[in-house]
């Protein structure tokens, strides 16, 4: 009985760790490129305004 109780938190921690790693991978591969594109777009937009193109 005690052994089973000891195993459960470990499983939850391991599963949590896996989900955190997967989440970080998704963030790094999807959200960061989008943020980079947005930042580049904003910089380009304002530099074009300064140059008087827009």
Please tell me the predicted confidence (pLDDT) of residue 17. Answer: 92
Query: How confident is the model over 9-21, as a mean pLDDT?
Result: 89
Please tell me the predicted confidence (pLDDT) of residue 42. Answer: 97
SS3 46: helix
Output phi, psi for 23, to 5 deg: -60, -45
Query: How confident is the model over 32-41, as a mean pLDDT?
Result: 96
Please tell me the predicted confidence (pLDDT) of residue 12. Answer: 86
- The answer on pLDDT for 6 being more than 90 is no
């Amino acid at each position: 009985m005690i052994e089973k109780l000891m195993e459960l938190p470990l499983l939850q921690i391991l599963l949590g760790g896996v989900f955190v790693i997967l989440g970080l991978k998704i963030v790094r591969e999807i959200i960061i490129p989008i943020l980079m594109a947005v930042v580049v777009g904003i910089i380009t937009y304002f530099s074009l305004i300064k140059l008087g193109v827009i």
